[in-house]
Amino acid sequence: MAILIGDTAPDFTLESTEGTIHFHDFIEGSWAVLFSHPKNYTPVCTTELGYTAKLKDEFAKRGVKVLGLSVDKIEDHAGWAKDIEETQGSALNFPLLADTQGEVARKYDMIHPNADNTLTVRSLFVIGPDKKVKLKIEYPASTGRNFDEILRVIDSLQLTAKHQVATPVNWMNGEDVIIVPAVSNEVAKDKFPGGWKEVKPYLRIVPQPQG
């Protein structure tokens, strides 16, 4: 059965390039990004892992832990990691899981028979501190993911989890947001004392809350 947004992210224990990972323990109290790769030594994945490594500080300041996953053996990861550093200019600095039996790939529905019976598709999950899936994205093997977009979505998820707002199309951190319809005008006066712009009764624009 497919994992849906709002589901509890399945727990697992796997070996990684940084030791044994007990997933729910690993993410305790943090946000997490879990993303899969069809196979080691593939060109698109090499660029993705290198770029993700360069974003280490960006993920850290958002309290996000990153995990990569491949169905290849742990001993095969070391050679690929050297290639990533050589070609992308950044060393692997987050755990890369070795899902050799496809256990996690099956739990997270990362293997699609219509694409390939053994290789994972390029799946990505954002998981909250409550261990619930907040975002899932799938790309074909030929298309690299946009990790700047992943950071943007995490900014939105963290903001909207704390305040009763939603983020509009193409929103970037620091821009105006929308008061959710569940918040009445009476309640909104207390929550947003600076006021808002009412485009329509259901579309109320307000500066992004701070803190």
What pLDDT, on the 0 to 100 scale, is given for residue 105?
87
Averaged confidence pLDDT in the chain = 91
pLDDT band at 116 (very low <50, low <70, confident <90, very high): low
Please report how the helices 43-54 and 74-88 are oriented relative to each other, as an axis angle in degrees rounded to 10. Answer: 70
What pLDDT, on the 0 to 100 scale, is given for residue 83?
92
C-alpha closest to that of 96 among 6, 16, 40: 16
Based on the residue annotation, tell me whether 97 is a catalytic residue of this protein.
no
Q: Are 137 and 36 in contact (CB under 8 A)?
A: no
Domains and CATH numbers, the chain: 13-145 (3.40.30.10), 163-206 (3.30.1020.10)
pTM of the model: 0.92
What is the pLDDT averaged over residues 158-181? 97
Cα separation, 167 vs 155, whole angstroms: 10
Residue 24 has pLDDT above 90, yes or no: yes
Q: Are 104 and 97 in contact (CB under 8 A)?
A: yes
Please give the residue that has the higher pLDDT: either 108 or 116.
108
- C-alpha torsion sign, points 86, 90, 91, 96: negative
What pLDDT, on the 0 to 100 scale, is given for residue 161?
94
Residue 58 has pLDDT above 80, yes or no: yes
What pLDDT, on the 0 to 100 scale, is given for residue 76?
78
Q: Are 38 and 141 in contact (CB under 8 A)?
A: yes
Q: Which of 45, 126, 150, 178 is catalytic?
A: 45
Please give the residue that has the higher pLDDT: either 56 or 79.
56
CB atoms within 10 A of CB 92: 21
